[in-house]
Structure 1
Amino acid sequence: MTAPTEVLLPTGAEMMQQLVESAGAAHQPAADMADLAEVIRTLLAVEVRRDTRVRLGGNLFDVVITGSGFEARAAVALMDEIQVGCGPVIEDPESGWFYWLVPPGSAARWEPHLHAVCLGSPHTITLPSLNRTVPPGPYWFRPSASDRLVPTVPLRDALARFRPEPTPHAALAAQLGVAP
């Protein structure tokens, strides 16, 4: 009778090392994974009560910019009815603007509008922390909910109906260094 042979199993660290070595020469994450990691870090920062600058476009959102006066507030009220609670809107009292967070890619499809501008990549926006719902500084006029953005078609219609002033075109053009 022969003695049973002892089987040695690799440790967890040894198995991980084998996986790393089997991946080949390039041990760096894919470029799009670095972007994903940046997005996750950014959103976590907003969640833990820090203002955070994010890139527009990509898979997150674009932004429609309007005046934040009475007319814009009427548009928010209409979007509240349409969406059963308007998607995320940031008010910046200092500039007098609303930033409506709309689906990514909206800027590429946005037709010129007399009362609004839509921006996407390569622009950025600073998101206030999720707990900031009153001034001073930019704050969530309608808080961000993970399940919705502001749909552009009803938003365009609401903005055409209520015509929020002042329009952001000239101020944005000056800020971005382009002709209005």
Structure 2
Amino acid sequence: MTAAQVMQHLVDSAGPAQEPAADMADLAQVIRTLLGVQAGRDTRVHLGRNLFDVVITGSGLQARAAVALMDQVQGGCGPVIEDPESGWFYWLVPPGSSARWAPHDHAVCLGAPHTITLPSLNRRVPPGPYWHRPSASDRLVPTGPLRDALARFRPEPTPHAALTNRLGITT
């Protein structure tokens, strides 16, 4: 095969020039979503992919004790959203966690294909969902220490039955 034939084969096998790579559409959507959150808009995002999954617990005193413990474990707890209307904490954990999450009496872990609405980054108080612990680009909440903290403090009410209504989360 000549050099020209090799080049033509590479061009032919690359496919149409106007067709974006399959994962680029997902990346573009993720970037638009995160820019919306940064710009001060509540934004619905898909769980999983390369972003995060979510662990849902009650947001009472026991959950706040778990946040305090995670502050110590992580040197500042990873991102946690509080929804005072539903009484839930949404702990942002690494993507893929839901596939490895064993049943827990006080928490549920959800990933793809579910979605969650992230509050704008500047929302730190109610009304509506807000960042109990702000999102930082360098960390999520690690599931191992979180499971231990939730088993220790046992936040109530448990989210299992209420999730049938998909509070804040949809498929």
On whether the aligned pair clears a TM of 0.5, the verdict is yes
Q: CA deviation at 1:37?
A: 0.2
* C-alpha distance in 2 between matches for 1:84 and 1:26: 47
Is the partner of 2:166 in helix, strand or coil?
helix
Q: Which runs of 5+ in 2 are unaligned?
A: 1-13
Cα displacement string for residues 53-110 of structure 1 (whole angstroms, at most 9, x for unaligned residues): 0000000000000000000000000000000000000000000000000000000000
Structure 1 counterpart of 2:141: 150
Q: Which residue of 1 aligns with 2:95?
A: 104
What is the TM-score of this pair, normalised by structure 2?
0.88
Q: Counterparts of 2:165 and 2:16 in 1: how far apart (Å)? A: 48
Indicate the residue corresponding to 1:69 in structure 2. 60
**Match for 1:54 among 36, 39, 45?**
45
- Give the structure with higher Rg (CA): 1
Could you tell me how far 1:173 is from its partner in structure 2?
A: 2.4
Give the corresponding residue for 2:73: 82
- Give distance in 2, aligned partners of 1:149 and 1:128: 16
SS in structure 2 at match of 1:40: helix
CA RMSD of aligned residues (A): 1.8
TM-score by length of 1: 0.84
Residues 1:139 and 2:130 aligned together: yes
TM-superposed deviation, 1:26:
4.5
Moved over 4 A (4+): none
Percent identical across equivalent pairs? 84
